[in-house]
Structure formats: C-alpha cells, structure tokens
Structure 1
C-alpha cells in the first residue's frame, strides 16, 4: 500500500542581544510534540548579521530535534518489544 504523510516542523526564533535561540517542534502521528533547541552566540567583535545567527541556531535546533526524535523512536520500540532498543545514527 502506498501512502503519503506530511509532518510539519514549526520553528520559532528568539533573538536577545548576541544570542539567537531556535526551537524546532514536530508533532508525531501519535500526538507527541518533540522539540529540539539550538543556540548561536555572536562574538561581539563580529558584525551584526541576524540571518547568520538564525541559520546557525535553526540548524542546531533541527539537529537536536532529529536526535530527540530518534530517542523517542527507541523508547517506542522498547515499549513494544520489552527489550532495550538502539537505532543506528
């Protein structure tokens, strides 16, 4: 059976002085929200280019989200099998 699913990731970016924080959240089909967080700190000597801080913070948030989603998957597998699970990264 062929099926197409769509998962949406919501990204929120907060900037405060020299720090940009991004939060990337996805809701699984089971209704669980999984959130990854990423930060970017600008060296005060560097020029203020907010887009660069946004990109770096979002990239780190998405990487963190991926790790958290893998951990959620491992817990789901363990819950079904009753055995410890480890998915390859």
Structure 2
C-alpha cells in the first residue's frame, strides 16, 4: 500500500489594539479557497502587566478551535451530501 501525503497550510494573522488581541486562522487546501476561524483575547483590568505573547497564544488557540469547528461542519455537510446518493 502506497502512502499518500497531502499538505494543508494554516496561517495565523494577529493584531492588537487597546488591550485586545485578535487572531484569524486561515486554512488553505487544494480543495477549497480557504476556511477561517477567529479568536480574541482581552487584557483584564486586574492584570498588573501586559504580556503580548499570552494574548497571542490565547487568541490563536481560540481561532484554531473556531477553525476546527468550522472544518467539522464542512466535513459533516460533505458526509450528508454523499449520503444522498
């Protein structure tokens, strides 16, 4: 049995303004143009120090979870479409 490898790329775009970090995770595959998910993280007023890296991590994690959920919905729709044949 021959091993087949397919590559999908995910790019994460980050921006930060006024204590809020926004992330967009974009999935590119040969099958579709792109699918994306978003996530945000906010600096709490109780935080004594602003560590940008933590905001990036949280926003990115949330964007990837959103992207994963959207991809799961696409897969479910594909399965349902195939079941109609």
TM-score above 0.5: yes
Q: Aligned match of 2:59 in 57, 60, 76? A: 57
Higher relative contact order (CA 8 A, sep 6+): 2
Cα offset for 1:44?
Answer: 2.7
- The answer for unaligned runs of 5 or more in structure 2 is none
Structure 2 partner of 1:42: 43
Please show how residues 1-89 of structure 1 align to structure 2 within 5 Å. 1-46=2-47, 47-82=49-84
Deviation of 1:81 (Å): 1.4
Q: Determine the C-alpha separation between the residues in 2 that align with 1:73 and 1:61.
A: 18
Shift of 1:59: 0.5
Number of matched pairs:
83
CA positional deviation for 1:73: 0.5
List alignment gaps of at least 5 residues for structure 1.
84-89
The CA distance in 2 between the partners of 1:77 and 1:39, in whole Å, is 31
TM-score (norm 2): 0.89
Q: CA deviation at 1:32?
A: 3.5
Q: Which moved more, 1:50-59 or 1:31-40?
A: 31-40
